[in-house]
């Protein structure tokens, strides 16, 4: 059966990409081992599991890696269809709307947030804050009125604007979540 097998999540605690996967695993009460990666010294397991992008999160299901947070969320939905709540709506059109807003958050909101974190001068930062405000205002105003209804749980799950603000995270702490 698709949902059989142990789950291990390679991640970093400050990463919104990782957090969105943790939200969904926890919402569905799926037990998993969390492995904290040091992105300044990536583990062999991470490099072998995600040789193309070398990023976290990586979900290992019975040893098989699934990469990219949005792909992981959809995989979890599909592999455990009997574990509510569903991340994506069942209606194909509403799924498309949900994916649109999830991609919007990744493209626009995250980039604006990174701008706030990494701009050097106050002027640059103020411009980045304005960009973030505009991106969030669009999300707030338009996603609620999009055909198909209010912002989906997928967009919400991806909506955290915290970021992987550090290239490194200390050590390789391992814990059961
Ligand atoms: N599109 C990817 C982005 C993942 C990502 O950028 N992860 C960062 C941490 S927040 C990372 O692993 N960075 C390490 C690197 O780029 O070398 C996803 O949604 O999973």
Give Dmax (Cα) for the chain.
55
Write the pLDDT tens digit of every residue in 112-161.
878 888 878 888 888 888 988 898 899 888 876 554 445 444 444 443 33
CA distance 65 to 158: 20
| pLDDT value at residue 74 | 95
Give distance in angstroms: CA of 33 to centre of ligand 1: 19
57 upstream amide cis, omega within 30 of 0: yes
Report whether residue 12 contacts ligand 1, using a CB cutoff of 6 Å. Answer: yes
Report whether residue 69 contacts ligand 1, using a CB cutoff of 6 Å. Answer: yes
Report whether residue 68 contacts ligand 1, using a CB cutoff of 6 Å. Answer: yes
| pLDDT value at residue 117 | 82
62 with 5: CB under 8 angstroms? yes
DSSP three-state, residue 5:
coil
Report whether residue 25 contacts ligand 1, using a CB cutoff of 6 Å. Answer: no
pTM as predicted: 0.80
**Residue 174: in which H helix or E strand, if any?**
strand 174-176
pLDDT at 177 over 90: no
**For residue 93, what pLDDT band results from cuts at 50, 70 and 90?**
very high
Atom of ligand 1 nearest to the CA of 55: 12
pLDDT at 41 over 70: yes
pLDDT at 40 over 90: yes
């Amino acid at each position: 059966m698709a949902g059989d097998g142990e789950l291990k999540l390679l991640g970093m605690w400050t990463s919104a990409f990782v957090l969105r996967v943790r939200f969904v695993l926890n919402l569905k009460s799926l037990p998993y081992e969390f492995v904290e990666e040091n992105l300044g010294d990536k583990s062999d397991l991470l490099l072998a599991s995600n040789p193309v992008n070398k990023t976290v999160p990586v979900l290992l299901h019975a040893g098989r890696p699934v990469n990219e947070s949005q792909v992981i969320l959809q995989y979890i939905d599909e592999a455990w269809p009997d574990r509510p709540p569903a991340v994506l709506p069942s209606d194909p059109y509403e799924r498309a709307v949900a994916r649109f807003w999830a991609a919007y958050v990744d493209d626009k909101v995250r980039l604006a947030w990174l701008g706030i974190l990494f701009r050097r001068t106050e002027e640059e930062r103020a411009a980045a804050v304005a960009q973030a405000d505009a991106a969030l205002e669009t999300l707030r105003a338009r996603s609620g009125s999009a055909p198909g209804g209010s912002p989906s749980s997928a967009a919400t799950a991806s909506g955290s604007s915290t970021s992987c603000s550090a290239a490194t995270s200390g050590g390789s702490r391992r814990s059961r979540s």
